[in-house]
Amino acid sequence: MPDTTSMSTFAPPAAAAGVCYHCGLALPAAVNPAWTVRIAGAEHAMCCPGCAAVAQTIVDLGQESYYRERSAFAASAEGAQMLPPELRLYDNADPRFALDEDSRETTLTVEGIRCAACVWLIEQRLAKLPGVESAQLNVATERLYVRWRSAACQPGDILAALHAIGYAAYPYDAERHGEQQRKAARTLGRQLFVAGLSMMQVMMYVAPAYLADAGTLDDSMAALMRWASLLLTVPAICYSALPFWRGAWSSLRAHTLGMDVPVALGIAAAFGASVVATVRGQGEVYFDSVTMFIFLLLCSRHLELRARRKAGAALERLQHALPASATLLEQYPDSHAASLVKAAALAVDDVIMIKPGEAVAADCVIVDGRTVLDLSLLSGESAPVAKDVGDALPGGAINAGSVILARVTRIAQDSTMSRLVQLIDRAGRDKPRIAQWADDVAGWFVLALLLFALATFVFWFWLDGDSARRAWPIAIAVLVVSCPCALSLATPTALAAATDALLRQGVLVTGPQTLETLHRATHVVFDKTGTLTYGRPVLHEIQQLGLMQSDFCLQVAAALDAGSGHPLARALVGAAAEAQG
């Protein structure tokens, strides 16, 4: 039963107006609605997103009692950089973490994931944490799976390690995770728009300088164009390039060389050199190159984000097929009184009622009634399958017949559909050898790139007689042109897109090495008891009567069926369209 105890029993005035419910600091004049957390049935305002994230984590982990038992306000969590001591409360208390006597595992959602470089950084950081056995971040679903030894590490240590490099983590919640994804997509869209606008406006000012003949632009006009370009580049530097600044800073704080480090160095060097040249009134400026570089990098990240969202959508569709609630008959067979409960709360031997059109909440056996099941989502069977008393029902199947009563044989988390979702999820987070190789060489590649850029600068500086006139732009070009993002972006994005494409064709990829070795396959063996089809009829052959040609017959049939939505009619119309090219 939910805890509805009043929150006003602890000494500090937690519910006092105008102060943060978590840390007690004064609330800002305009409280952001996103900084409000529901605790024990009441909405409470927080002073910053850090306190909101920490409070939400405490609630998600079922530790709301902390706010009743505490004797003082918590330290401010502004910026989500420090882990408050109160999160240690659930280190050994939450049974959801337990796998065996020593091993623990949990699923976290991590805020602030911008690209595959973030995935690499997080996995590398947690891999260095004592006691952590594995840390896998699914690039498509943005979920972090961590396994650790409880004797050497606690959940608080994992969260602290993530917070230390600028990422706020909390237990996975589908609704909250979806909102966080939509928010990230909107932010990236705004940054892309600002970068594109800055790029186009800067190009308007630099184009005359490129096109004009030598000596046709006076110094005052050239200075005006440079200063205008500088002002128009500032929004792209200060807002659109934020993902690169944050990524580079997080990498440096984690004592690693992430993919954003050379990108940030290239942007900073080009912009800094351009500012110096503008102030001094001599030298080359690169404002157009800077804005274009930021815009193109954001475009690539936008495309990568779309690919990851598309790949993760297949998994989300399967998860949505799992019902969130079930109709429980607590007193069966003495009474048929029913109550609606969460599917996750079902226990073995519970009796549930499954109505027509509802999904089976957990694996069970029919105890009363008969029906037909739609198993298309689970097995691809096109025709409903009849079920009677004593027959097993897989979780996730759709009741396409009449009302039945069934006894639960497995909890919802272990149902057939849940295991199918887990297989897909595991395929997304496990990495084939090529992806592991890319992760292993990424840090060394960045280091080699930085050393090569430095060597290039030194060489040209020496060649030009201690002059940086050419050395500086050439070194910047090395950093920009050799952008290592593709090394980390291409592999996981391609794997996610391929897995999604196969899943939409009905092929479930369950192992990380499958895609890597598929091109060497010479035979494909299907073990299928039912039909193996596309799930839609197609025209196979035309047999005409009389003297009419088959193409003419097809066009006539398609014209007659053009307004019909019947599957056979759609097959004829589609075949006619393909025949016409």
- Backbone φ and ψ for 134, nearest 5 degrees, come out as -155, 145
18's torsion region: left (phi>0), alpha (psi -120 to 50) or beta?
A: left
Burial group, residue 540, by CB count within 10 angstroms (0-12, 13-18, 19+): exposed
Burial group, residue 164, by CB count within 10 angstroms (0-12, 13-18, 19+): middle
Contact 246, 121 (CB under 8 A): no
Contact 264, 248 (CB under 8 A): yes
Give the separation between CA 553 and CA 560, rounded to whole angstroms.
Answer: 11
Any bridge partners for residue 42, and if so which? 39
CA distances from 306 to 115, 313, 315, 431 (A): 11, 10, 15, 20
Q: How many residues make up the chain in this entry?
A: 581
Give the separation between CA 226 and CA 519, rounded to whole angstroms.
Answer: 53
Q: How far is CA 419 from the centre of its chain?
A: 21
Give the separation between CA 454 and CA 125, rounded to whole angstroms.
Answer: 27
368: annotated active-site residue: no
Q: Where are the alpha helices (DSSP H) in 380-432?
A: 416-429
SS3 string of 185-213?
Answer: HHHHHHHHHHHHHHHHHHHHHHHHHHHCC
Indicate the DSSP class of residue 484: T
The answer to whether the Cα torsion of 162, 163, 168, 170 is positive or negative is positive
Tokens matching residue 539: 């025209």
Give the separation between CA 389 and CA 370, rounded to whole angstroms.
Answer: 6
- The active-site residue out of 100, 157, 527, 561 is 527
Q: What strand order describes the sheet that includes 404-408?
A: 339-342, 325-328, 351-354, 404-408, 364-368, 392-393
Tokens matching residue 150: 């409880």
Give the separation between CA 195 and CA 244, rounded to whole angstroms.
Answer: 13
User: Smallest Cα–Cα separation from 107: which of 140, 144, 136?
Assistant: 144
Give the separation between CA 113 and CA 309, rounded to whole angstroms.
Answer: 13
Q: Which residues contact 456 (CB under 8 A, 6 or more apart)?
A: 471, 474, 475, 478
Contact 367, 406 (CB under 8 A): yes
* Helix 242-253 and helix 116-127, axial crossing angle in degrees, nearest 10: 10
Tokens matching residue 295: 């815009």
Tokens matching residue 344: 């996750």
Give the separation between CA 431 and CA 488, rounded to whole angstroms.
Answer: 13
Which residues are annotated as catalytic?
Answer: 527
